[in-house]
Amino acid sequence: MILDQDILRVHPEQAMLQAFAAGVRFFQYRNKSGPRRLIWKTAHLLAQTARQVEALFIVNDHADIAMAINADGVHLGQDDLPIEVVRKLIGREKVIGISTHSVEQAVDAERSGADYIGFGPMFSTTTKAIGAVQGIENLKIIRQTITTPIIAIGGINHANAAEVISSGANGVAVISAILSAYDLQQAASEMIRILAKAGTDNPEVRRG
């Protein structure tokens, strides 16, 4: 789950704890517009909370902040530092993910040693401008091309999440479908139920 500071309606720690109570175990903190000191302060709190509840926590974009707070890893964009450079900075034991928007980028990410790739946007979304919609068919091509775990992103909601999993994604990155819900914990719980059912129906994806 992406804790996007621009969309959150509650404090990110509160959102994390509500989502954790619903079953979410993988969190990314994203703040595209705030000052770096505030990003560090918030990420530090979230990293502490994640350790207490034994959830995985990564920071978006900022490898140095991820290092400073001892986060579990970092998620990179195509314009951030190369994976090889970040690996030298944060070490082998940390998670490195990267956003990809084409087969070529996904293949390059795997060759560079990404622990997972984010692929999308799967569907039309207003959360983030990340290029043309990739869709289910491109996801299937990616799944046939690489073995690295795929986290699909972009316009994923309760109605289409199961199709995304059954088409080859190992997981989904959800933002507005949960953060914009009236009851965040209930929305997260329902998403977990949908994903668990989709995973059970598709054991090949679960092995990824």
**Per-residue pLDDT, 129:** 60
Within a domain: 198: yes
Helix 103-111 / helix 135-145 crossing angle, nearest 10 deg? 30
**In this structure, are residues 41 and 207 in contact, taking their beta carbons and an 8 Å threshold?**
no
The reply to whether 102 belongs to the active site is no
Show the domain range for 9: 2-202
Distance CA 9, CA 182 (A): 10
What's the pLDDT at 64?
A: 96
Q: Is there a domain that residue 147 lies in? A: yes
Q: Would you say residue 208 lies in a domain?
A: no
pLDDT of residue 57: 98
Q: Is 30 considered catalytic here?
A: yes
Task: Confirm whether 207 is domain-assigned.
Answer: no
Tell whether 68 is covered by a domain.
yes
Which is the catalytic residue, given 87, 94, 99, 167? 99
Give the pLDDT confidence of 104-141 residue by residue, as tens digits. 999 999 999 999 999 999 998 765 566 688 999 999 99
Encode pLDDT of 2-14 as tens digits. 999 999 999 999 9
- State yes or no: is 92 an active-site residue: no
pLDDT of residue 207: 27
Q: From the candidates 87, 128, 167, 189, which is the catalytic residue? A: 128
Q: What angle do CA 138, 142, 147 make, to 5 degrees?
A: 165
Residue 166 · residue 201 · CB < 8 Å: yes
Which tens digits make up the pLDDT trace of 164-187? 999 999 999 999 999 999 999 999
pLDDT tens readout for residues 37-54: 999 999 999 999 999 999
pLDDT in tens, 65-113: 999 999 999 999 999 999 999 999 999 999 999 999 999 999 999 999 9
**Cα–Cα distance between 28 and 44 in angstroms, integer?**
12
The CATH number of residue 109's host domain is 3.20.20.70
Amino acid 47 reads A
Number of compact structural domains in the chain: 1
User: Does 59 fall in a domain?
Assistant: yes
Interval 192-201: pLDDT, tens:
999 999 873 4
Looking at the domain assignment, is residue 50 inside a domain?
A: yes
